């Protein structure tokens, strides 16, 4: 599912990266698609959820661009099957290393657990 999310964001021109892939300062908006924790459902150890964080970066001089960029990400991912927003979003904070503002949007994937 990570690849489907990544490909959808790329298809929409939203400049996605894998964790650790982006180098240098933030010159234009981009996002990092990061897998998070996997947990089983309460009723079964065969089904569960995995979190996906979309970490958003916009140049430090473009704070006003943050919300429209996040809105574009939400719109792009809205129709993907088995993916839903959790409602958790972090506030914008400055990232001095990247010279950017950053925030994140959390999603959850309903999935069959392997093993």
Q: What is the model's pLDDT at position 114?
A: 66
Task: Examine residue 102 and state whether it is found in any structural domain, yes or no.
Answer: no
Domain count, the chain: 1
* Residues contacting residue 38 through CB under 8 Å, at least 6 positions apart: 48, 49, 50, 51, 111, 113
In a domain, 99, yes or no: no
Which pLDDT score is estimated for 33?
98
56 contacts 105 by C-beta, under 8 angstroms: yes
Is 28 part of a structural domain of the chain? yes
Q: What is the pLDDT of residues 5-44, one digit of tens each?
A: 999 999 999 999 999 999 999 999 999 999 988 877 767 6
Which of helix, strand or coil describes residue 75? helix
| Residue among 64, 85, 61 at smallest CA distance from 73 | 85
What is the reported pLDDT for 115? 57
65 part of a folded domain: yes
Per-residue model confidence (pLDDT) at position 42: 66
In a domain, residue 98? The reply is no
Q: What CATH number is given to the structural domain containing 27?
A: 3.30.2000.10
| pTM (two decimals) | 0.89
| 79 within some domain | yes
In this prediction, residue 60 carries a pLDDT of 97
Structural domain for 12, as ranges = 2-91+108-112
Residue 100 lies in a domain: no
Contact by Cβ (8 Å): 18, 12 = no
pLDDT digits 0-9 by tens, 92-109: 999 999 999 999 999 999
pLDDT tens per residue across span 46-89: 778 889 999 999 999 999 999 999 999 999 999 898 899 999 99
User: Is 96 a member of any domain?
Assistant: no
């Amino acid at each position: 599912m990570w690849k489907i999310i990544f490909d959808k964001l790329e298809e929409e021109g939203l400049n996605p990266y894998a964790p650790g892939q982006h180098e240098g300062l933030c010159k234009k908006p981009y996002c990092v698609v990061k897998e998070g924790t996997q947990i089983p459902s309460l009723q079964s150890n065969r089904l569960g959820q995995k979190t996906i964080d979309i970490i958003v970066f916009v140049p430090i001089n473009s704070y006003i661009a943050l919300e429209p960029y996040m809105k574009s990400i939400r719109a792009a991912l809205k129709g993907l099957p088995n993916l839903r927003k959790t409602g958790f979003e972090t506030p914008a904070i400055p990232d001095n290393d990247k010279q950017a503002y950053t925030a994140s949007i959390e999603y959850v994937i309903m999935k069959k657990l392997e093993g």
